[in-house]
Structure 1
Amino acid sequence: MKRHGVLITILFALSVSLLSVSMIFYEFYKLNKEQYTNHIFTKYSVITQIYREHQQRLSSDIMLEANLAVYNLEVVKDAKSKENVLGRGKILKREGFKSFNTALMINKQGMYTKNTVSQLRATMLNYKNKIYFQIETPKGDILIEDSELKPYSYINILYTYAAIFVIISMSFILVLRKLSPLIRLRRKLSLYSNGNMNVSFKTKNKDEIGLIANEMERAKERINNMLDSRTLFLRNLMHELKTPIAKGTIATQMLESQKQRDRFSSIFHRLETLVTEFAMIEEVTSINDKKDFSTYRLVDIIDGAIDMAMVDRDKVSVEIGGEVKIDANYRLYTTAIKNMIDNAMKYSTDAHIKICINDRKELCFESKGERLAHPLHYYIEPFTKDNPSKNSFGLGLYLVDSILKAHDQVLAHEYEEGINRFIFA
């Protein structure tokens, strides 16, 4: 998920935007519909007044219909139609109210004013896309069809909402299209980091992402040139060094003095060891993928390391079962273990090393000796050695650390009760 953080953020923003717009339009739709309903419902007051005067004056139905026709209103007379409207119609609004009627009356005392309060109820209904008003009074009720009014229509709001929805969606689609080169660029970077040195970042786009891609193409070319120059330099250097070392080794045997022969043999042996370690370091740092990795039994790799170190097997205690396996480059991992054995032979007080697996399933190298004078990172720097009198160029632990990094591991150290414990974690 983290690899697609930008895409997920954009999709989240799109979802939130569309959801917010939808909620706003829905609330606007409800408010607009309510306002429209309230507005057309006010027509009931005209109907009530006409109907009430009809009842008071006892005018004919023809007169009632004529007065209603002025306002495009028509009385529903058919009993079946009235039943359908009242039974199946959707009530849009219903409201009860009081009607006040004042009349002059005469009795024995003379003239007086009589106020009459009537309980009325007005109901507005929608049936088959037509508006009806039902007026209910104590003396009866009447159902009137309004041929002028139409039910509320949401089409205009729907069109507006659809237009804004499409505009927002298209905007985010354009953003995603602009980001698609960035996704391709990330994939190319992944290929390049995995060792595909021929991948091309070049693009014809002139926007910001295109400028970055073209700059990366130029950086890739410079890096490839430097890597090629470095590889060529190191290989030529090691090749040219091996020839004089071999000649010097042969010439050493011609010296008459045994002491001088031993001294020069030691010098040329150190030089040969240094060149070999340089070659190994160059190989480790040049690993681009794990195609040379295979699954091996750990005891087989340790046996190969003991043979490579040329030490007596009774000086190495291996407490590892044959079921323990590891994915590794056999030659490099064997070299790392061989260097740990060499390190123990040089610096332990009893020239003995124990190789085992700890509780965390990590490979451990234990040997008796003094506590390290410096933190571990001091010793894994190239050409570092704690005791100048020892036969070392200080590349041993540096090479071990480099090999472990190529295997996604690290070198750790513990000291407990006179035991130095190096761990491949």
Structure 2
Amino acid sequence: MKQHAVLITVLFALSVSLISVSIIFWEFYKLNKQQYIDHIFTKYSVITQIYREHQQRQNSDIMLDANLAVYKMQIVKDEAEQERVVKGGEILKREGFESVKASLMFSEGELYTKNTITKLRATMIEYKNHIYFFMQTKNAGLLIKDEDLKSYIYINLLYAYSTIFLIISISFILVLQKLRPLIRLRKKIELFGDGNREISFKTNNCDEIGLVSNELESTKGKINNLLESRTLFLRNLMHELKTPIAKGTIATQMLNTQKQRDRFTSIFARLETLVNEFALIEEVTSLDNKKDFKEYRLVDIIDGAIDMAMVDRSSVSVDISGDVKRTVNYRLYTTAIKNMIDNAMKYSSDMHIKILIINGELSFESRGECLSHPLQYYIEPFTKDNPSKNSFGLGLYLVDSILKSHGEVLAHEYEKGVNRFIFA
């Protein structure tokens, strides 16, 4: 998920923006529609006044129709239509109020005014894009159709919302389009890191990502040149060193005394060992892909390491099931195990090493004194506790380098007189 953090952030911003705009427009739509309804509902006061005058003066229905027609309203007299509107229409607003009818009365020789209060309820109904007012009293009901008023029109608001929605969407699409070269660039960098030296970062784009890509192309060329120069230098150097070593080894046999022959033979053997270890270091550090990694049984790898170490098999105890497998570069991983065996033969008190699996990790146990320095000290090149030992101090450095190329690390524990090195 972290690999797509920028893309996820952009999509999250797009979602938040669109949702926010939608919520704002929805709330504005509801508010605007309610204001429109409240505004036109005030027309019921005109209907109430006309209806009250009709009741007070006892005018004919024709007169009531004529008064309503002035305001472009008409009474719905068809009962079927009334039922359709009242039951099938959408009630926009409803409000109750009182109508007061004043009349002069004469009683017991006195004249007085009598007020008759009639409770009314006005309901505004929308039906098929027309507005109706339904006036209800205790004993009757009057449905009036307003020819002038129309339903709330939201097309302008919808147009504005659609325009803003489209602008935001297009803007983010353009941003995502600009991010596509960045995604491709990341994949190319990953391939280059995995060892594909022929990958090309070159692009014709002139934006910031294009400039970065072209700079990477230039940097790739410099890195490839450095790697080729380094490899050529090291291989030529080792080749040139091996030739005089071979000649010196042959010439040693022409010396007069056995003591001199043994001394020079030892010197040239150590030089050859050092050159071989340098060659191995060069191979490990230049390992840039896993094409040579295959699955092997761990016991087979350990058998090969024991043969390379040329030690008595009774000095090595192997407590590992034949079902345990590792996907490794066989030669390098065998060399790492061989160096751990050599290390035990040089520094253990009983010249014995036990190889076993602990919690799924390959462990090497040998008796001896605890390391006098932290493990980090010993995995540096040319470091060792005892200079008199026949070693250049490259053994653990090679082991650590090989393990790193396999995605593992070297760890150390000391418990009850036992040094335990772990391939973790």
TM-score, shorter chain, exceeding 0.5: yes
**Aligned equivalents of 2:356 and 2:87: distance in 1?**
90
Q: Which moved more, 1:403-412 or 1:139-148?
A: 139-148
**Aligned equivalents of 2:59 and 2:79: distance in 1?**
22
Rate the CA distance shift 1:138–1:348 in 2: closer, same or farther, 3 A.
closer
Q: Which moved more, 1:389-398 or 1:17-26?
A: 17-26
**Aligned equivalents of 1:138 and 1:54: distance in 2?**
17
**Aligned equivalents of 1:90 and 1:321: distance in 2?**
80
- What's the offset of the Cα at 1:163? 1.0
Per-residue CA shift, 1:194-221, capped at 9, x if unaligned? 1100111111111111111111111111
One-letter amino acid of the counterpart of residue 69, structure 2? A
Per-residue CA shift, 1:369-411, capped at 9, x if unaligned? 1110100010000111110010110111101111111111111
**Aligned equivalents of 1:76 and 1:363: distance in 2?**
95
**Aligned equivalents of 1:98 and 1:55: distance in 2?**
14
**Aligned equivalents of 1:36 and 1:285: distance in 2?**
78
**Aligned equivalents of 1:245 and 1:168: distance in 2?**
74
- What's the offset of the Cα at 1:107? 4.0
Asked if 1 retains the 8 angstrom alpha-carbon contact of 2:344 and 2:352, the reply is: yes
State whether structure 2 residue 342 is matched by structure 1 residue 342.
Answer: yes
One-letter amino acid of the counterpart of residue 394, structure 1? G
State whether structure 2 residue 280 is matched by structure 1 residue 280.
Answer: yes
**Aligned equivalents of 1:4 and 1:139: distance in 2?**
71
- What's the offset of the Cα at 1:105? 4.1
- What's the offset of the Cα at 1:414? 0.7
Which structure 2 segments of 5+ residues have no match?
none
State whether structure 2 residue 246 is matched by structure 1 residue 267.
Answer: no
**Aligned equivalents of 1:226 and 1:163: distance in 2?**
56
One-letter amino acid of the counterpart of residue 116, structure 2? T
One-letter amino acid of the counterpart of residue 226, structure 1? L
Q: How many residues align?
A: 424
User: What residue number does 2:418 align with?
Assistant: 419
One-letter amino acid of the counterpart of residue 240, structure 1? E
Asked if 1 retains the 8 angstrom alpha-carbon contact of 2:375 and 2:412, the reply is: yes
One-letter amino acid of the counterpart of residue 136, structure 1? Q
One-letter amino acid of the counterpart of residue 170, structure 2? M
**Aligned equivalents of 1:395 and 1:334: distance in 2?**
16
The runs of 4+ residues in structure 1 deviating greater than 6 Å are none
**Aligned equivalents of 2:423 and 2:192: distance in 1?**
28
Q: Structure 2 matches for 1:98-177, cutoff 5 A?
A: 98-108=98-108, 110-138=110-138, 140-177=140-177
Asked if 1 retains the 8 angstrom alpha-carbon contact of 2:52 and 2:99, the reply is: no
Per-residue CA shift, 1:223-276, capped at 9, x if unaligned? 111111100100000000000001111111111122222111111111100000
**Aligned equivalents of 1:424 and 1:128: distance in 2?**
81
User: What residue number does 1:17 align with?
Assistant: 17
State whether structure 2 residue 281 is matched by structure 1 residue 295.
Answer: no
- What's the offset of the Cα at 1:289? 1.2
**Aligned equivalents of 1:16 and 1:170: distance in 2?**
15
One-letter amino acid of the counterpart of residue 379, structure 1? Y
State whether structure 2 residue 395 is matched by structure 1 residue 396.
Answer: yes
**Aligned equivalents of 2:53 and 2:398: distance in 1?**
111
Q: Structure 2 matches for 1:182-221, cutoff 5 A?
A: 182-221=182-221
**Aligned equivalents of 1:189 and 1:105: distance in 2?**
103
**Aligned equivalents of 1:301 and 1:394: distance in 2?**
24
1:147 alignment partner, SS class? strand
- What's the offset of the Cα at 1:90? 2.0
1:114 alignment partner, SS class? strand
User: What residue number does 1:379 align with?
Assistant: 378
User: What residue number does 1:57 align with?
Assistant: 57
1:40 alignment partner, SS class? helix
**Aligned equivalents of 2:108 and 2:361: distance in 1?**
121
Asked if 1 retains the 8 angstrom alpha-carbon contact of 2:365 and 2:419, the reply is: yes
User: What residue number does 2:225 align with?
Assistant: 225
Identical aligned residues as a percent: 72
1:303 alignment partner, SS class? helix
RMSD over aligned Cα atoms: 1.4
User: What residue number does 1:304 align with?
Assistant: 304
One-letter amino acid of the counterpart of residue 366, structure 1? E
One-letter amino acid of the counterpart of residue 116, structure 1? T
User: What residue number does 1:317 align with?
Assistant: 317
- What's the offset of the Cα at 1:104? 4.4
Rate the CA distance shift 1:100–1:349 in 2: closer, same or farther, 3 A.
same
**Aligned equivalents of 2:303 and 2:144: distance in 1?**
105
1:415 alignment partner, SS class? strand
**Aligned equivalents of 2:258 and 2:323: distance in 1?**
50
1:149 alignment partner, SS class? strand
Which structure 1 segments of 5+ residues have no match?
none
- What's the offset of the Cα at 1:98? 1.2
- What's the offset of the Cα at 1:318? 1.4
One-letter amino acid of the counterpart of residue 61, structure 1? D
State whether structure 2 residue 82 is matched by structure 1 residue 82.
Answer: yes
User: What residue number does 2:2 align with?
Assistant: 2
Q: Which moved more, 1:25-34 or 1:396-405?
A: 25-34
Per-residue CA shift, 1:332-352, capped at 9, x if unaligned? 111111111111111111211
One-letter amino acid of the counterpart of residue 187, structure 1? K
1:414 alignment partner, SS class? strand
Per the normalisation by structure 1, the TM-score is 0.97
**Aligned equivalents of 2:67 and 2:314: distance in 1?**
124
State whether structure 2 residue 361 is matched by structure 1 residue 362.
Answer: yes
**Aligned equivalents of 1:75 and 1:341: distance in 2?**
109
**Aligned equivalents of 2:100 and 2:172: distance in 1?**
62
